[in-house]
Amino acid sequence: MPRARPAGDEDGEKRPSLVDDAYAAMKQAIRNSEFPPGYQASEQEIALRLGMSRTPVHEAAIRLQEDGLVRVLPRRGILICAVAPADMREIYDVIIALEGQAAERVAGLPEADRTRISAELAAQTAAMADAQARGDLPAWGAADECFHRTLIERAGNGRMIRIMQTINDQSHRARMLTLRLRQELDASVAEHYRIIEAIRDADPAGAHRHARQHRIRARDELLPLLENYGLRHL
């Protein structure tokens, strides 16, 4: 683990770049469950684990609280928030609505843009299929996440991008935890290709429909897994 910076650097570490570094490091630790749900620690303890000093960790924690990933507890430190199945149902309500709209917008773009974006999405989907063939589920999950992030980003709506980033950060642990339990990885690849085909064909209604159906099926697979395995806090 990197060494903590000297305490005398506290004031200098108020620069935004250092806060951004702390924010990114804390978020990654939360997504990877290095800071697991329910973990509570002082700002100083977290700073030591990250090899930073307290000031940027404090400011990063305020941002992460706005993202719904932590709670800042006065005089008691920072608590990593858990996600319950009821939270995941709400999260999927948002995902289903926004990704359908994003796919529709992308399918309505000029042909050159659709061709370029379709190639990106197809490469990510091919990476999913390759990872599945190798039995590399983390790589499958990374390629799947990249596909959905690209779909949202290429729609060109900044507010949609920000909302989905927050939603994805909150739901990441649940998706990765249940990946080995899921039975429909082949279906995800096939559904991605249907979305891509609709985008190539300039079919906004079809792209919207296929994107919604894809996420609805994923929700209907994931939520019962959480309930059946008693995974109530993720």
Q: 99 and 176 share a domain?
A: yes
In a domain? residue 1 = no
**Distance (Å, rounded) from C-alpha 73 to C-alpha 90?**
25
How many structural domains are present in the chain? 2
- Mean confidence (pLDDT) of the chain: 87
The larger pLDDT score, comparing residue 232 to residue 165, is at 165
pLDDT digits (tens, 9 = 90+) for 34-54: 888 888 999 999 999 999 889
Q: Are residues 33 and 90 in the same domain?
A: no
Assess if residue 108 is contained within a domain: yes
- Residues 158, 62, single domain; the answer is no
Terminal CA-to-CA distance of the chain, rounded, Å?
25
The total number of residues shown for the chain amounts to 234
Domain that holds residue 204: 85-228
Give 86 or 210, the one with higher predicted confidence: 210
Residues 196 and 213 in one domain: yes
Would you say residue 2 lies in a domain?
Answer: no
Q: Is 20's pLDDT higher than 80?
A: yes
Say if residues 91 and 155 touch (Cβ distance below 8 Å).
no
Last residue of a domain, one of 62, 80, 98: 80
Domain boundary, last residue among 65, 80, 95 = 80
**72-102 per-position pLDDT tens digit:** 998 889 998 887 778 888 989 999 999 999 9
CATH code assigned at 92: 1.20.120.530
Same domain, 145 and 120: yes
d(CA 154, CA 197): 16
pLDDT tens for residues 137-156? 889 989 999 999 999 999 99
